[in-house]
Amino acid sequence: MSDDKIKWDQVNKWVSRAGLKTNWQTYGMPEVLDPFTSRFADIDPMPKWDIPQKVMISTTITGAFFSKRSNPNQPITVEEIRNSAEECIKAGAPNIHIHVRDDGGWNALDPQRFHDVIAPLREKYPGTMFDGCLVAVNDKESAVMESTMKTGLFDALPVNTTAICCGDSMFFKAPHVVIKKAQLAQEYGAKPIISVYDDGDIDNARRFLVESKLLKPPYYWLILPALPGCSPMHNPQQMVDALMRMVRTIRDIDPNCFILVCAAGRASTYLATFAMLLGLHVRVGMEDTLWPYPHRDDIIQRNVDHFLQMKQIAQLLGRELMTPAEYREALGMSPTSTCVAKSA
């Protein structure tokens, strides 16, 4: 005796009357399904998705978060950072994001070290774009922030509207710091990058940078989630929900936004791939993650490996890498860089 709830007497009665044939009427012959039109309406039955053909893949070389204890391959010295950046440029990377470290391996706002990394690369690869993270954590660094901006090293500069505990460290930019840094970046010809780590950061940017009319559109947004204290992404559903929420919130503020999503934390390559599926742009590299995969413990060996992995994924998704000139155009900048690296 079957345990299911099917009324088999009725099923068998209708099988005996009507057999097992499918009711089928083909109104659109000679095609069963015409992929381009309908017999009854002049419409596109399966319209193309509105996904940009070109994608920006920025590469971030070292950042401030991780040490060689976490990843023995982490570039720390000026030479290591410059060599890693050059590997990426040779592989086709159109934009490089630079931090520098001090002799102890800590993040530093050091004009000479920035110059020693970027200036030789600018001379050798004049088309490449560079942005750099100028975060002053003491009076000495605060005093040299403006002079570092004046060096002409940077095409763009992140402005973090952040107030979080990142890992075990507090990271807080007061409103006056956010506003003044954004104003100085524009004054010295660098595109401000609105850098947000969670939903609250987006609202800070709305208040202090966008609706204040301090920044000039088009606005450039960078989303850095998935690190401890940032918007959490501990599984695929959290990743999808969090990124969709942040993107929708930004688009409510700025419908024409340019959004770059960092391949961060455990979400890493999966997050960047999802961002590219949404038509967004991505940042890869050893600043934002140790791992290329969320479910394995493989450590990124070289920044260029992570860049080439994402470049291949972009190609598999039918998207092409932006050139530096196309990147600049998308950000409302002049077609060629006006940066001229001066001695620090």
Residue 206: CATH number of its domain: 3.20.20.70
Q: For residue 340, what pLDDT is reported?
A: 61
User: Residue 132 is encoded by which pair of tokens?
Assistant: 């750099």
306 lies in some domain: yes
141 lies in some domain: yes
42 lies in some domain: no
Q: For residue 3, what pLDDT is reported?
A: 87
Task: Kindly give the parts of the chain with pLDDT less than 70.
Answer: 1, 338-344
pTM of the full structure: 0.93
12 lies in some domain: no
Q: For residue 63, what pLDDT is reported?
A: 95
Q: For residue 342, what pLDDT is reported?
A: 63
38 lies in some domain: no
49 lies in some domain: no
**Number of domains forming the structure of the chain:** 1
Domain limits at 224? 54-330
Q: For residue 256, what pLDDT is reported?
A: 94
115 lies in some domain: yes
Q: For residue 186, what pLDDT is reported?
A: 95
